[in-house]
Amino acid sequence: MPKLQRFDLSRFPESSHTNLVNSFQVELSREWGFFTVFHPRYALLFGYVFRRVEFPWLNVWESNCEHLQVRGMEFSNTPHHGTMRTLISLREVWGVPAYEWLDARSTVAKQFVAFLHPVPSDFGGTADIRVLEEVLQVAERSTSRTFQVPI
């Protein structure tokens, strides 16, 4: 049996790798999913908040090699990428649809929030985000601090 390895995806890894993709399902108990990125030098928190029923998946892709250091995070209605044949061959993963069909001449409306907000330079990471009436309440992971982000 191969040895299992643990990876901390909260930080960009220093090890060399290419085309790494990790897909995550937003917790079924949540109405809203989210992801954030913190830049300590600028003390800024960037994030997206989205409805889980509209975007049940979070995909994180990255490469770290000599000529390319990149990480992308996207909320999506599919946990994987590929050709249309690949996408529709797997109807669902863990009971959650793996794609969404939109008929010709149809429309769909979805909503999400993107934000950029100053936080202390010692910010310890996002534990949770609650969507309130006119603000996002961001709870810090390593302390009991919360921050209000107007929406």
Amino acid letter for position 99? Y
pLDDT at 83: 77
Residues (pLDDT < 70) of the chain are: 1, 4-5, 7-9
pLDDT tens figures, 34-57: 999 999 999 999 999 999 999 999
pLDDT at residue number 69: 85
Predicted local confidence at residue 87, as pLDDT = 74
Domain boundaries, the chain: 17-101+109-121
This model's pTM is above 0.85 = no
**Predicted pLDDT at 67:** 84
DSSP secondary structure code for residue 60 in this structure: E
Residue 50 vs residues 68, 103, 148: alpha-carbon distances, Å: 29, 23, 17
Q: From CA 48, how far away is CA 10, in angstroms rounded?
A: 16
CB-CB contact of 120 with 44 (8 Å): no
3-state helix vs strand vs coil in the chain, percent to 5: 5, 45, 50
